[in-house]
Chain A
Amino acid sequence: MIHQYKLGGYNIVLDVCSGSVHVVDEVAYDMISLFEGSDRETVISAAAEKYAGREGITRRDLEECYDQVAALRDAGQLFTPDTFEPMAGSLKEKTAGVVKALCLHVAHTCNLNCAYCFASQGKYHGERAVMSFEVGKQALDFLIANSGTRRNLEVDFFGGEPLMNFQVVKDLVAYARSIEKEHHKNFRFTLTTNGLLIDDDVIDFANREMSNVVLSLDGRKEIHDRYRVDYAGNGSWERIVPKFQKLVAARGGKNYYMRGTFTHANPDFLQDIQQMLDLGFTELSMEPVVCAPGDPSALTEEDFPVVCQQYEKLAELMLRRDKEGRPFTFYHYMLDLSGGPCIYKRISGCGSGTEYMAVTPWGDLYPCHQFVGDEKFKLGNIWDGVTNTERRAEFAACNVYAHPECRDCWARLYCSGGCAANAYHATGAITGIYEYGCRLFRKRMECAIMVAAARALDAQYA
């Protein structure tokens, strides 16, 4: 399967299964579209007819072009068949029962009252609660005990607002550090915060212990303050931005993401990215809101072309700022074409319910943070382990080939079948798809590949 498209002045051809990316001229672009199922003479004649009278394009050129396409096919860089399906699930089978990442819900409570929150203001449709040290410690012990030979273990302190339980976060990190060497493990911690409780102590701790910090900011003040308000209805932008700036300045180049959500209120989210850049932030992530259809914040069909245009303009802005020596990162455009994930990662699915689980303040295990609160998805708990093995098996089988719609999608090796929670909420099955999200994802990948190709062309062909 191939996917070809024009963007940013480039004619791009992606060979889906080999991962090859080609930037081609107009003649090759047309010939590639005619190539499959036709013989040499038919393809060349069709191209000759189209380009008849076009100055500088001879029949010899067309023959040469055909032969270049054929050579790439023969080298396994075009029209590569998908032979990966028998391998799907094999990595998961090989590592069945291994858990390597936990999302610790250290606080099912929040000091903000954001209307669009998928976690219903941090409560996940349940009672307010914070995780005790004992529960968190058991969760870390559970992770180590179930991590097999995996060395790198990921723990995300999540909520609600995790800094509302900061002492437990600090104590859990200290505990993990005290035991990681003897178990030959390396903990990588992430903190996701709305910023309100950031102070010098938090900054010092986060910059010392957190591999990554995810800071929630929606961009422009009026956009951010539309949803991200406290319980008195006051916006939070003015209070958090200086704290984020201080934290990032002190971070010394360690990973962080300024993470925004865009909604029906701001499909023109590039202005929010620009605001983040103007505030001095360069590691950026901007996510489409996930909420029930019909929710006032939900993106609509009318928003779709606006959002797509924003993704294109964002790609142009990145390339322009590269040239100006002011580069920035956009999470979804971080494609490393030469060193990205192997095919096993690309077909195995996201890992929810198998290698990745969420832990509630009470120690219950769920397939991921987005399933927390939906009792039928409870997998077990951190003392008894996974007891709902039927549900776990369902997630283990949820690889890219488990989604019928993905079989014909060129982007399937870029998303691995997409988000199980989004699919479930959209269709009632984790093997379904969230179609609107898929369309946005494909647009993002087209832009990301274009950016990566443009950068590579500069490096390879300069």
Chain B
Amino acid sequence: MEHIKTIKTRNLCESAKNGGCGECQTSCQSACKTSCGIANQQCESSKDRK
């Protein structure tokens, strides 16, 4: 019996291996300007791959 369904996610530990390119959008620059969030930003390099 399957008790657990694992959602496809980016492995954060794996993402550590390539370093960060820093090209992604500055988090406060898009809409909020008052309440910082990081996780809703897009990865610029994965966007290029799409």
Residues of A within 8 A of B (CB): 13, 17-25, 27-28, 61, 64-65, 68-69, 72, 76-77, 80, 83-84, 87, 91, 94-95, 98, 100-101, 103, 118, 150-152, 154, 156, 158, 188, 190, 192, 212, 214, 257, 259, 285, 287-288, 290, 331-346, 348, 350-352, 355-356, 368-370, 413-416, 418-420, 422, 437, 440-441, 444-445, 448, 452-453, 456-457, 460-461
Contact = CB atoms under 8 A, between A and B. Distances in A.
Contact of A72 (B4, B29, B33, B50): B4
A416 B47 CA distance: 21
A415 B32 CA distance: 13
Contacts of A441: 35, 37
Given A192-B33, A214-B31, A340-B41, A68 B18 contact: no
Classify the secondary structure of A's interface with B.
mixed
Q: Which 9 A-B pairs have the closest CB atoms?
A: A344-B20, A342-B15, A28-B3, A414-B39, A101-B26, A419-B36, A19-B12, A257-B31, A334-B40
Interface string B16-50: 10111011111111111111111111111011001
A190 B30 contact: yes
Given A350-B28, A418-B36, A441-B35, A87 B22 contact: no
A356 B26 contact: yes
Contact of A212 (B1, B4, B30, B39): B30
B40 to A, nearest CB: 4
Given A331-B32, A356-B28, 16 more contacts: A25-B3, A100-B26, A156-B29, A158-B33, A212-B31, A287-B35, A336-B40, A342-B15, A345-B20, A345-B24, A346-B39, A350-B28, A356-B29, A415-B38, A419-B36, A453-B7
A72 B5 CA distance: 11
A155 to B, nearest CB: 9
Contact of B20 (A101, A342, A368, A444): A342
Contacts of B5: 22-24, 457, 460-461
B7 A22 contact: yes
Contacts of A331: 30-32, 40
A457 B15 CA distance: 23
Given A72-B6, A338-B8, A419 B34 contact: yes
A213 to B, nearest CB: 10
B38 A290 contact: no
B9 A338 contact: yes
A27 B47 contact: no
Contact of B35 (A95, A342, A437): A437
A21 B16 contact: no
B12 A415 contact: no
A89 to B, nearest CB: 12
Contacts of A340: 10, 39-43
Contacts of A17: 12-13
Contacts of A352: 28
